[in-house]
Amino acid sequence: MGRDAISTYMKGRSHPSPENAKKMARVLGCSVSDLLPGFVGGVNDTGRDGAAPALEIRQSSSDPSRMWVQVNQAVTPAQAMAIMEILQNKGG
């Protein structure tokens, strides 16, 4: 894993693959969940490998003042509506 990859992880522009997350946690002497809270390591709630992480946050390459957020998690209808309300309020 190169220095550039680690830099993009630290800046929040991308997240490591499950394999790289495990390698970094091993080198740093911590768990993947300590290193990347919310990162599910490529396994979803049904246990299938290769699923999208529960949370991915990265900086927009076209507008560094904006972030891309992807959530792959089951939520209640009320939580889904709260998320939509936040997203529709584009002034924030």
Separation of alpha carbons 69 and 90, rounded Å = 14
pLDDT of residue 54: 72
What distances in angstroms separate CA 51 from CA 40, 41, 44, 80, 90, one per listed residue?
9, 9, 6, 20, 29
Low-confidence ranges of the chain (pLDDT < 50): 42-49
The pTM of this model reads 0.43
Interhelix angle 18-28/3-10, rounded to 10 degrees, is 90
pLDDT in tens, 64-88: 888 888 887 788 899 989 988 988 8
pLDDT at 46: 39
